[in-house]
Chains A and B, each alone.
Chain A
Amino acid sequence: MVIIQDLYKKFGKNHVLSGVDLTIDQPGIFAVLGPNGSGKTTLIKSILGMVIPNKGDIFVLGEHIRKSANYRHHIDYLPQIANFPGNLRVKELIKMIKDLRGNTLEDSKLIALFKLSPFLDKKLSTLSGGTKQKVNIVLTFMFDSPLIILDEPTTGLDPISLIRLKELLQEAKSKGKTILITSHIMSFVEEVSDEIVFLLEGKIYFKGSISDLRSQTKQPNFEHAIASILTDNHA
């Protein structure tokens, strides 16, 4: 699915990623964790080709990402902060993305699921943060791509929408898709993810299942296991 080899990226003097090797080849939900500024978003943006790495190769579905932009047809991406052009209406935005990526019938189902129909004619600049995030989720899930990348999907969501999001994730997983998630909400990660990738100072510190992590750190609970990694490394 996704193969990352020896990835380096620095912004100015700040080395964000220094030698990341990651192979994700089976379906399931993978959580990318790490403290603030550990390079989670940079890693994800590198996969999407939005950040150009200084060194290293990334392959998505066997294709090198520098070769063509077409591999992005196979990725659904949910950006961290929903920055949409404010002068567009929700309906127009959805239509525009459909024009770019091909038609889909999923959108009306998702709009109903998140109860967005009263907002369809509103301008995006007038929406609240949580509603924007729901629009963001609709845009991400309305295509049937084998790879889904979610950057902080839970931001601003109310409890009902959070449950809906978890259902969507389970449904996508049961279809055999690969899902990459970053989140700071440990209970959410613990509940949904099959495997975690822990980034620390630009390197992969740990990759494996949650029970592996618990036994490795000798902590009974997931949140404490993560905290113990952080305190041991004074990060």
Chain B
Amino acid sequence: MRSRWSYVYFSFYLLLGAVLLFLNNDLSKAVITLMNVIIVLVPLIGTIFGVMYYYNSKEFTELLLAQPLKRSSIFLGQYLGVALSLTMSLILGLGIPFVFYGLFKSGAIWDFSLLLITGAFLTFIFTALAFNIALSNENKIKGFGYAILLWLFLAIIYDGLFLMSLILFEDYPLDKLSLAGTMLNPIDLSRTLILLKLDISALLGYTGAIFKKFFGTNFGLFISFFSLMIWVILPVSRIVIKSKKKDF
């Protein structure tokens, strides 16, 4: 990766991690703050970088297409290049200050690694979605617009709709519905996973108890990771299919 931006991203996390630790003086509290940042920021950065990279490397892609390379390997290579470098920035940038602070000796290590794993998942998911949007839109401005809208929808609007529907149908038993609703949005899913892992589900009230019952078990954890996997696999396979049919 010869992108300057991934270094900026890396140093941003390095700084963020260090400052949080300095201010909080407590690992698990820092993890909670970090979660709030990661849940919103990682998808945004993944989306923007994905779209930007695709449009910027368009000429390069056309050059490669005339070479004896398979289309799927060209596009998957680009996707993995972006997603992996973003994930590396995230993991190293946050990992280094925490390791220096004595992460391995503390009990927060599992919480912290779950945080990094979901962060990595979110990066892969949103970069893949961004590539999908960019592949389907020749127009850069449109592509950027859709990408930002997608992020806005999944990060903010979805929650709003979700809450409204809960209020609207509050007379009915909603535990199944809210579980399903959480599963369908990777951002919500990651947030719930981390919150429950941190044992602060009391904050969520009654629903928290249901969630705890579901996500707290191994089965729930398995299902959650499974649905995160689906969120990666579906857009990636669409990248492959779409790129095979596209004219350049």
Contacts of B64 in A (CB 8 A): 100
* B-side interface size class: 10 to 19
A62 close to chain B: CB less than 8 A = no
Partner of A50, one of B59, B68, B70, B248: B248
Partner of B63, one of A49, A72, A85: A85
B37 close to chain A: CB less than 8 A = no
CB pair B59–A101 under 8 Å, yes or no, is: no
* Alpha-carbon gap, A72 to B64, bound state (A): 11
Contacts of A84 in B (CB 8 A): 59-60, 63
Count residues on chain A whose CB falls below 8 Å from chain B CBs: 24
Q: With contacts A50-B248, A52-B245 known, is A83 near B62, CB below 8 A?
A: yes
Contacts of B2 in A (CB 8 A): 87
Contacts of B70 in A (CB 8 A): 68-69
Contacts of A216 in B (CB 8 A): none
CB pair A69–B248 under 8 Å, yes or no, is: no
B105 close to chain A: CB less than 8 A = no
Q: With contacts A45-B248, A50-B247, A85-B57 known, is A69 near B71, CB below 8 A?
A: yes
Contacts of A48 in B (CB 8 A): 65-66
CB pair A50–B66 under 8 Å, yes or no, is: yes
* Alpha-carbon gap, A225 to B60, bound state (A): 39
CB pair B65–A73 under 8 Å, yes or no, is: no
B246 close to chain A: CB less than 8 A = yes
Contacts of B23 in A (CB 8 A): none
* Alpha-carbon gap, A149 to B244, bound state (A): 22
* Alpha-carbon gap, A73 to B70, bound state (A): 12
Least distance between A179 CB and chain B CB atoms (Å)? 16
B141 close to chain A: CB less than 8 A = no
CB pair A51–B248 under 8 Å, yes or no, is: yes
CB pair A52–B66 under 8 Å, yes or no, is: no
* Alpha-carbon gap, A51 to B244, bound state (A): 10
Contacts of B71 in A (CB 8 A): 69
CB pair B68–A11 under 8 Å, yes or no, is: no
* Alpha-carbon gap, A140 to B132, bound state (A): 32
B139 close to chain A: CB less than 8 A = no
B contact residues vs A (CB 8 Å cutoff): 2, 57, 59-60, 62-71, 244-248
A contact residues vs B (CB 8 Å cutoff): 11, 45, 48-52, 68-73, 75, 77, 79, 83-87, 97, 100-101
